[in-house]
Structure 1
């Protein structure tokens, strides 16, 4: 297997995803408690585990840049929740990125077939410089 030129785990984006689904889970349980669907602690425990096991939709994003493609891999808690999406550099004609807040960036990949792909990634300044250098080098050499 080929070793990637760049490998990064998006910690801020992944943390925001966990916080978002934690809030959804908390308010879902709060609504069930207030509407008297859950009456005792045992049912609260059972419902909490069911929600966490079957409905938990946290997918951690990892970014890999290989010699010929950039791959976004979203990995869930269970093995069947792996989603992998890649774009070959020969299909990208332009890349644009902008800062959303703090170290959270939105990358827009313009492909030659007219489709655009957007990914939100959290990158430190060093990693942003490194990924920009790799992307500009790979897209310019087409």
Structure 2
């Protein structure tokens, strides 16, 4: 089940962010939630909402948000606490990850061209590029 999110929607802690970060409410995927918050007018509340959802995911499963194969091209994910998230094959072309916390995250074959990561944290982060991108097996 998914929910359509308008591009001009706001993510505020008092008006819907708690609804979105509630783990019992499975109306959106982690990727939809992060994209929704990346467009928020109130940045502090959006960062707090992503932090709550991340911590709840870690508490429930031991790993962070599941963001594999998500499209974050050009999105501003600055300051987002994405600890232990899975960003395998995520599209992050031109994304802003400045000051984002990617500690313990998995980034296997992500698209990171023109992405910025100034002041970010990546302790114990796993990063691997696809070495066989141009290889053809017969």
Same structural fold, with TM-score higher than 0.5 when normalized by the shorter chain = no
Shorter-chain TM band:
under 0.3
Which one has a bigger Cα radius of gyration?
Answer: 1
TM-score (norm 2): 0.23
Instruction: Give the structure, 1 or 2, with the largest relative contact order (CA under 8 Å, sep 6 or more).
Output: 1
Higher relative strand content: 1
Higher relative helix content: 1
